[in-house]
Structure 1
């Protein structure tokens, strides 16, 4: 820590009463019912315990205090701090601090703080426990086959889910705090000998330089703060996932994860447009099935962007159609112009989607039925809407739901609306200009310095083939070059697997007797 930063901090006093007055001034115990202070005597010395009620694990506190309260005066007569810290506190997660600000910051994060009269250091015991839910399969990334665990709002749980899948000593979990008031916990995760060092340093510096009072919106606020200068670009330059297996495979490819406490969504950086089209289900099936699923998804996503603008163009400018497609277009337009019908239908779909999100689960199905029958069917029945408009709008909505990335599905919806407006105003030239502008946005956007539309632009045939074709795992031995990994080979030197036979138990532990026999 810089000397200037240390000079701004208040050193703890050896006088317990002075420290207690400083804490009273800073924390206002009389106005915070959940901040608890407990005065007691240990080994003939006055002791003050301070902790947040909801975070303290009572069982751990009782076990620690049973040991401390049994101490005699002579146990702490000489070198009280060293004896207390290194001998008498029978707990693993213990730290110390000599500054008041560090002590308060730690205490408000959950640990218990112990101050002893005659000692100018505070002892910090991490006996916290968080209100947390169990890991469950995320709603947005479900699979037919695969794990059913997902990230939660508790940071230590999320790191454990990744550690369970990658037991590499080179896996790093760097801890950073951001937010002048919120002191939000953030973890940068990467594999040291795989991830690009410059990329890791860039993300580390950007997070460390965050200067804002708080991060209540967690990962989204962090994203906007570390990707400045392009707030109005709708393209998602990081990928969010709630699946530990998805996060683990990106770590192995050389990406960097950013985890923010209180959020179950993990940021993956850097990413391209095609990273948002990958789904775990493709890798839970055989390669041939995976290829089929991937192409169905690609077709659906492409249709969700251009299907309705193309049909509208065919209706407004039917002379561009060949004779064998002359059947395209409505026999009766309806009382509302086709262009306005599409705009109204798009807005209505978004209204129904938002209403379903805010509707209690028991009533969500009823909202969908009302939208489909009472609004859609009745609008066609009275002649306000054309039936084909409803059909094509429903088709593109299905394509939106095929998009694995929720953020990208919203962007595709904006692209579709933009193309509808361009076609409605300028017909064929509008369609061409609209597609060109969308392509320009994809080409000139970047995610932490890497081209967003790679491997199309700049073109990389081998990488593009890997995107179009789901390769078998044994042949997927090269990490993506676009992230500039330090180690591009995923296979490396093969390590013989341990044999599992009768001599090993359920947990894979060998029988010691058999080991001795082999040595003989």
Structure 2
């Protein structure tokens, strides 16, 4: 299908403005769509036409452009007849905007106009000027809600791809930083930016991502980055996240310097980081804003929370089902009274109840969220214990697991771990200790067999890399971190100048 599209001849810009106007009326809806602007002017006794989208161009900028063009008649009044053949050069010299290009096909002109640029057609000319004056509506950069830090920058990516590239450029002022733009979507024509360091990133990975993006055939990217992810990594029913998302420019810049490739999608504040492993999803920027000792402590606590969110409930269920395995000092573990509902059902119902609360918190207006939390904690929790639906210990351990899930930096990983936990609970309740061992083995095998863009998901644990694993377990001081991760296959392995080695 792509070859057929390429083989199809694209209509060229006509030197007759009436033909161009007719095309724009049929193709874009000039005169029908209220947000498509059109102006026709006479410059040096020749007609020119301007097309633009009113919502993506600021009115003062358009007025300034029109004034610059009409001033040409006053600048060249006496020699208007002699300068008609130089109209293109004269108009080009009066377009003092930051970026002015030329196009020769109508499809290019339409695509640029729909992206927020101004198209200028000229009489007796088979090319058109494209003037970049776009201003996308959106919010100002602010700290992401899901990646807050005690110390550090408070800016964050927005839905504006131009601002996002600028936030990255501000942190990496390197001439080798590349931002390559690709349009995806037959109707949406969404801008997608591939960002990488030319002398660091693996060119094979860059080519792979470009090829995958160029072969996407879809009407539009309404869900933006998530749609791109599904085309890129072909995840299927694997619940574990195969790419990492971030809304923090400092995190994105750090990964660029390591040799990763970033994908920015217009209308989305989340950057896609590729390739990633399981351990990319369990690190947080806060660890690098503290001293190595404090950062290591915070990391270990987070690891403990993530581990508890997956394995605490199945392990506790085993101890409840087979109390003989408990040493004398831990005989207090387990419900003191038999409940009206089997323990395994209590765990599953309580776990699903926590998910209900999470969903409700997302859809509940902020002023009401506190009241909702009180209702959940006091009324639902306590009354459920009083009526015998839940035991107190079930509420305790489910709450600990929920806190561990909330401590997981990656939202996608926390949901995947929740699903894994529920499956482990079911298998453990059916097969006992053997079921838990089998479930744990399947969990590790599933992770070890997973690959993200040909990258082993459990690296550096499987395949084993002692030096890289040490940097996962400990927050190593930056001056001691001289090498880039080998898993991204960087063209330049050293983070610091080679003269210092």
Please classify the TM superposition score into its range, dividing by the shorter chain length.
over 0.9
Structure-to-structure mapping, 1:318-357, within 5 angstroms = 318-357=323-362
In structure 2, distance between residues paired with 1:184 and 1:42: 35
In structure 2, distance between residues paired with 1:2 and 1:382: 68
CA contact (8 A) 2:121 2:127 kept: yes
Q: 1:88 aligns with which of 94, 97, 104?
A: 94
* Partner residue in 2 for 1:275: 280
Q: 1:79 aligns with which of 70, 86, 89?
A: 86
Runs (5+) with no aligned partner, structure 2: 74-79
* Structure 1 residue 2, shift from structure 2 partner: 8.9
In structure 2, distance between residues paired with 1:163 and 1:333: 62
Matched, 1:297 2:297: no
**TM-score (ref. length: structure 2):** 0.96
Cα deviation digits, residues 348-385 of structure 1 (max 9, x gap): 11011101101111111111111111111110112221
CA contact (8 A) 1:43 1:69 kept: no
In structure 2, distance between residues paired with 1:423 and 1:260: 42
Change (3 A) 1:63 1:6: farther
In structure 1, distance between residues paired with 2:8 and 2:340: 75
Q: Cα RMSD between the aligned structures?
A: 1.6
Change (3 A) 1:212 1:75: farther
Secondary structure at 1:139's aligned position in 2? coil
Secondary structure at 1:39's aligned position in 2? strand
- The answer to which of 44-53 and 303-312 deviates more is 44-53
Q: 2:385 aligns with which of 380, 384, 409?
A: 380
Structure-to-structure mapping, 1:162-173, within 5 angstroms = 162-173=168-179
Cα deviation digits, residues 214-247 of structure 1 (max 9, x gap): 111000000000112x311111111000000000
Cα deviation digits, residues 444-474 of structure 1 (max 9, x gap): 0011111100111111111111100101111
Structure-to-structure mapping, 1:159-198, within 5 angstroms = 159-198=165-204
Runs (5+) with no aligned partner, structure 1: 496-520
Secondary structure at 1:267's aligned position in 2? strand
* Partner residue in 2 for 1:202: 208
Matched, 1:394 2:375: no
Change (3 A) 1:31 1:65: closer
* Partner residue in 2 for 1:137: 143
- The answer to which of 411-420 and 1-10 deviates more is 1-10
Structure 1 runs (4+) deviating above 6 angstroms are: 1-4
* Partner residue in 2 for 1:14: 15
Secondary structure at 2:34's aligned position in 1? coil
In structure 2, distance between residues paired with 1:36 and 1:127: 14
In structure 2, distance between residues paired with 1:48 and 1:6: 30
* Structure 1 residue 7, shift from structure 2 partner: 4.9
Structure-to-structure mapping, 1:381-460, within 5 angstroms = 381-460=386-465
* Structure 1 residue 56, shift from structure 2 partner: 1.2
* Partner residue in 2 for 1:500: none
* Structure 1 residue 249, shift from structure 2 partner: 0.7
* Partner residue in 2 for 1:471: 476
Secondary structure at 1:454's aligned position in 2? coil
Q: 1:367 aligns with which of 363, 372, 377?
A: 372
Secondary structure at 2:332's aligned position in 1? coil
Aligned residues: 493
* Partner residue in 1 for 2:67: 66
Cα deviation digits, residues 104-135 of structure 1 (max 9, x gap): 11101100111122212111111111111110
* Structure 1 residue 31, shift from structure 2 partner: 3.0
Change (3 A) 1:433 1:49: same
CA contact (8 A) 1:43 1:75 kept: no
- The answer to which of 367-376 and 237-246 deviates more is 367-376
Q: 2:259 aligns with which of 254, 257, 263?
A: 254
* Partner residue in 1 for 2:38: 37
CA contact (8 A) 2:46 2:84 kept: no
* Structure 1 residue 59, shift from structure 2 partner: 1.8
Matched, 1:147 2:148: no
CA contact (8 A) 1:76 1:84 kept: no
* Partner residue in 1 for 2:76: none
CA contact (8 A) 1:193 1:486 kept: yes
* Partner residue in 1 for 2:47: 46
In structure 1, distance between residues paired with 2:117 and 2:254: 33
* Partner residue in 2 for 1:518: none
Cα deviation digits, residues 250-306 of structure 1 (max 9, x gap): 111111100000000000000110010111111111111011101000011100111
